[in-house]
Structure 1
Amino acid sequence: MASGDRLAIIAGSGLLPHYVAKAAVDEGESPFIVRLKNEADLNWDGYESEIIGVGDLAGLERIFKNNGIGRVVLSGGVKRRPEWREIHPNLKSLLKIPSVIKTLLAKGDDAVLQMVMKLIEAQGCRVLGAHEIVPGLLAVTGPMGARVPDKADQDDIRKAMHAAKTIGLLDVGQGAVSVGGRIVALEGVEGTDAMLERVAHLRANGRISQRRKGVLVKLCKPQQDVRADLPTIGPSTIANAAKAGLAGIAVEAGRSLVLDRETMLRDADQAGIFVCGIDMSLGGDFKE
């Protein structure tokens, strides 16, 4: 690693930042953890780190300069966008503040993330995707567990895939649920787990058939920069899919992350839920 090319991990909530940090350490790196205030929820003992507000661009520049940062990975969830009053610009971002505020107020998550990456690059750093540090997290094509989707499941995959692609184009969300060929839920700002809780509630109240199970599909937004916010599933996704009565989960192969794969697939097999990667270049097909 060249001088001035240290890796910084901007850590939000969830397990992904930890996976990225561990992989970096295994490769002989000494990553600096930028813990986002009120978002990062892991214990970072043993790592050099600092807490910073989501909109503190001046603080971010200081951290990069003082710690020789040249590469940056954005990882983990961010539940809340900063208010314009919370934005602390540096000289390099001062002229961009009007467009920054406009994006925060009126644009979707993908537009916001692309803006954030441009602001980081303006500091002279390269932005990497989490999958570039931990390629083993990427979903593969085909069934990943013991169960394989049947014909009805495949019909639901195709239906939910089309819906997920449509809302992705609108920069709304990445996921959709189809039950018996009917779209029953689309992911918004609440996230996947909250959407699945909504599906479970609808089923419990008789709004969704008890006889038909259904499928969750998660895809990258067509215009998405794959360096941030790749669709992600893990053990909590399996638990919530089971509560929602779903038959399985399909994610975009090569452009989705699978966290705690061994535990997730064990839980999926025990719950009778399939997990598969779909190849969008083949129209959403998968090889068995």
Structure 2
Amino acid sequence: MTTTAKTQPLASSAAITGRTAIVAGNGLLPIAIAESLQKQGADPLIIAIKGEASPDINARKHAEISIVELGGLMKILKSENIINVVLAGGIRHRPEFSAALHPGNGNLVALYRFMRAFRLGDDGLLKAVIATIESYGFRVVGAHEIVPDILAPEVGTITRRKADKESIANMQAAREAAIMIGSLDIGQAAIAVGRRVVALEGVEGTDAMLQRVAELRVAKRINRKGGVLVKCAKPQQEVRADLPAIGVSTVENAVKAGLKGIAIEARRTLILGYAETIAAANEAGIFIETFTQEAT
């Protein structure tokens, strides 16, 4: 497969020292990070985002904040002597622009940067949030720096089933589309069936896109069998937050959508619940392939 995108696998990070705070949204990632840090003998500070964090995280949280309470977040981080901050988990509800005017959102420079970011896509907004946090002297680290073994490996096929010729062609079509929408900061995934792109990820997320494809099959709008989901990092991706991810639910929804497999970018995609995800794919008889941007 070919592409014009030029990206590099995530480099290994230096050892993380000092106490780490996890700002937790929804999903499995915050729990995986917390458990990894605890196994290393660390005492992570878990800060749950109101209305977003999962019940498991809420049971372990030290504090809870609104997604727009950057000023309150800074106070918590300082009072707990935090050095590192990791942003983990999904955000289902994008805050309103007016919410950025929260009176506790810090100095005017940080507030202005945060407000401007609301005009941007997810990657642009995350970069602004990270810049704001770092302007207070904290270090923002990526989930992959704490739990490197959840990154997709560079081994090609990681399931029993491999991609056939038709699936490889679908992978190429979907990957080119995913890179294109990624460059526009729209989404990270696309689906191709019959060598034609039939779905692009938007703000609804990957699972909702897969559900949409399943509905299109029922409605006879997609008649060809098979198809492939491709997920990859945006060309300009802020790798310390919102790396593309798959998990058991991705596999389940891919099966419901009638797809033959999933292709993800090696070393730049997270596999949440690695063993469970591979087992689910093997049981369902679909493939999971990894690729690099330089693959041909």
Q: TM-score, normalised by structure 2?
A: 0.90
In structure 1, the residue matched to 2:147 is 134
In structure 2, the residue matched to 1:73 is 86
> Are the structure 2 counterparts of residues 43 and 86 from structure 1 closer, same or farther at C-alpha, using a change threshold of 3 Å?
same
Superposed CA deviations along residues 30-69 of structure 1, whole A, max 9, x for unmatched, are 0001100000013247745101000101110111111011
Asked if 1 retains the 8 angstrom alpha-carbon contact of 2:210 and 2:257, the reply is yes
| 1:181 is the counterpart of 2:195 | yes
Flag the structure with more relative contact order, 1 or 2, with Cα contacts below 8 A and sequence separation at least 6: 2
Of 58, 77, 93, the residue aligned with 1:64 is 77
> Are the structure 2 counterparts of residues 108 and 191 from structure 1 closer, same or farther at C-alpha, using a change threshold of 3 Å?
same
Of 76, 80, 95, the residue aligned with 1:82 is 95
In structure 1, the residue matched to 2:276 is 263
Asked if 1 retains the 8 angstrom alpha-carbon contact of 2:70 and 2:106, the reply is no
Whole-Å separation in 2 of the counterparts to 1:52 and 1:117: 17
Aligned length: 279
In structure 1, the residue matched to 2:9 is none
Deviation at 1:9, TM superposition (A): 0.4
In structure 2, the residue matched to 1:161 is 175
Asked if 2 retains the 8 angstrom alpha-carbon contact of 1:93 and 1:119, the reply is no
| 1:103 is the counterpart of 2:117 | yes
Letter in 1 for 2:202: G
* Deviating more after overlay: 246-255 vs 35-44: 35-44
Local SS of the residue matching 1:277? strand
Deviation at 1:100, TM superposition (A): 2.0
Local SS of the residue matching 1:51? strand
Whole-Å separation in 1 of the counterparts to 2:51 and 2:203: 18
Letter in 2 for 1:143: T
In structure 2, the residue matched to 1:14 is 27
Gaps of 5+ in 1: 284-288
In structure 2, the residue matched to 1:5 is 18
> Are the structure 2 counterparts of residues 96 and 66 from structure 1 closer, same or farther at C-alpha, using a change threshold of 3 Å?
closer
Asked if 1 retains the 8 angstrom alpha-carbon contact of 2:49 and 2:67, the reply is yes
Gaps of 5+ in 2: 1-14
Asked if 1 retains the 8 angstrom alpha-carbon contact of 2:248 and 2:276, the reply is yes
* Coordinate RMSD, CA, aligned: 1.7
Of 196, 205, 208, the residue aligned with 1:194 is 208
Of 239, 246, 256, the residue aligned with 2:259 is 246
In structure 2, the residue matched to 1:119 is 132
Of 148, 162, 168, the residue aligned with 1:148 is 162
Whole-Å separation in 2 of the counterparts to 1:237 and 1:146: 17
* Deviating more after overlay: 95-104 vs 242-251: 95-104
Q: TM-score, normalised by structure 1?
A: 0.93
| 1:35 is the counterpart of 2:48 | yes
Whole-Å separation in 2 of the counterparts to 1:100 and 1:45: 26
